[in-house]
Amino acid sequence: MAHMKVFVLMAGLTALLVVLGGSFFGQSGAVVFLVLAAVMNFAMYWWSDKAVLRMYKARIIGPEDAPDLYAMVDRLRQRADLPMPVVAIAPQEQPNAFATGRNPEHAVVCCTAGLLRLVDRDELEGVLAHELAHIKHRHMLVGTVAATMSGAIAMLGRVAMWGAILGGGRDRGGNPFGALVMMIVAPLAAMLIQFAISRQNEFQADRTAALLTGRPMNLAGALQKLDNYAKRIPMDVNPAAAQLAIVNPLRGAGASRLFSTHPATEARVERLAALENSPELQAAR
């Protein structure tokens, strides 16, 4: 189901790119903007492991530095049939975690120091399983493709809008008001679709983590605890890296869920609770 929802959302981004690009620049123009956006986003994707670790000021650790943490990641990654990722610890006090890397062979799982202090062993296992699920489903790649298409649509909209303004507000003899609305609405719609894809990725990682550990309520408890701490303990981190965290570390009060990269914690907990007695989970145990 999650794969289908992401596929439909990606199809929506593709349609927006084709319609907006074709309307103002023709098919070749749309391709140019897509290539420009791809260069910018895939550069970040390729070096994401190093860039994000720098943003979080994290240090890479080995089994001798944090043997319990390293062993837990190793055990879970074997269960998930993944290569051993790089393990890192960020010095932030807010309990949180993230995964990044361009593929399973170049992946990073990072915990904050606050996470290691403020959650119990079972909750930590749920969090680590969630991050390994992101690696297993290649969510970094999915997010990068979505960001590329959304970025191309945003560039198209800005260039078309300035062209319409400087050119007298008309595009190829069409309705100037309708064209202006399209230039504004299409990039906004693309951003909303990109955020929706991110939320679906979080739901999918939650579900996979629950099946991986066989104990969905451990992750549910961790999510509630992390969400509460995020409201009380600030974190200074680049927004580009913040969206990778298991719960949003940048708490924007009053922000619409449509503009959130993470689902509501209540919705995530509800879905995990529904898995507790499911036949699928019983089989996984």
The catalytic position among 131, 202, 266, 280 is 131
Instruction: Sheet with 86-90: list strands edge to edge.
Output: 59-61, 86-90, 108-112, 97-100
> Which residue from 159, 154, 274, 269 is spatially nearest to 218, judged by alpha carbons?
269
User: Contact 130/96 with Cβ under 8 angstroms?
Assistant: no
* CB-CB neighbours of 178 under 10 Å: 11
Tell me how far apart the alpha carbons of residues 87 and 132 are, in angstroms, rounded to a whole number: 11
**Residue (of 284, 280, 231, 228) closest to 253 by Cα position:** 231
The answer to whether the CB of 281 falls within 8 A of the CB of 219 is no
Cβ neighbours of residue 134 under 8 Å, at least 6 residues apart? 99, 140, 201, 205
The residue whose two tokens read 């507000």 is: 169
Distance set, CA 272 to CA 25, 111, 268 (Å): 46, 22, 6
Tell me whether residue 125 is one of the annotated catalytic residues: no
Residues forming the active site: 131
